[in-house]
Amino acid sequence: MAIRVYNGQCEDASRLLFKELKNLNVKDSTANLDLLWKLTLSLLRNLKPGWNGMMQSVYIGTHPGQSTIMLLPVIEMDATDITCIYSTLSFICDQVSRYEVSPIVTFDQPLYWKALTITQKEAEDSKLKSVVLILGVYTHT
């Protein structure tokens, strides 16, 4: 795998300005609805489908068959290095171009910010524009 040096600048997230959110006091109009309706709503419709539900909603076609495990190259760089993130996204785009689909990549918050900065600053015809970035949560047990 070739390392691709990122020549752009990664903006520092600490320089973002956030506006204060207004405190909204809203009365829940559904608070007095029938208990049975509330129970069936939560049982019949899961609002957060989870990882498998998300993949089922974006995958089109029949199941491709048995899964395989393949070891991919390791980038021996600091994972937070912008060049490492850029090289990884480029590698993923090169691999996925064979299948004519958009790659979906999950990052934790600091890496997500850098990956988003990279993809947004790319030219419109760049392969990296097809990457779908997901802000994920990594838990330690």
**Residue 88 pLDDT level (bands cut at 50, 70, 90):** very high
Q: Select the more confidently predicted residue: 139 or 118.
A: 118
Structural domain contains residue 127 = yes
Claim: this prediction has a pTM higher than 0.85 = no
User: Could you give the number of structural domains in the chain?
Assistant: 1
4 inside domain:
no
Span 14-24, average pLDDT: 71
d(CA 98, CA 117): 25
What's the pLDDT score for residue 75? 84
Q: Assess whether pLDDT exceeds 60 at residue 97.
A: yes
Alpha-carbon distance 37 to 60, whole Å? 33
Structural domain of 82: 77-141
pLDDT of residue 90: 93
Domain assignment present for residue 5? The answer is: no
The reply to whether 93 falls in a domain is yes
Instruction: Work out the mean pLDDT of the chain and round it to a whole number.
Output: 78
In a domain, 1, yes or no: no
Q: Is residue 115 part of a domain?
A: yes
- Please give the backbone phi and psi of residue 133, each rounded to the nearest 5 degrees, phi first: -95, 135
Structural domain includes residue 40: no
Q: Where are the alpha helices (DSSP H) in 3-137?
A: 35-44, 50-58, 82-96, 109-121
Residue 95 included in any domain: yes
Residue 41: the pLDDT is: 63
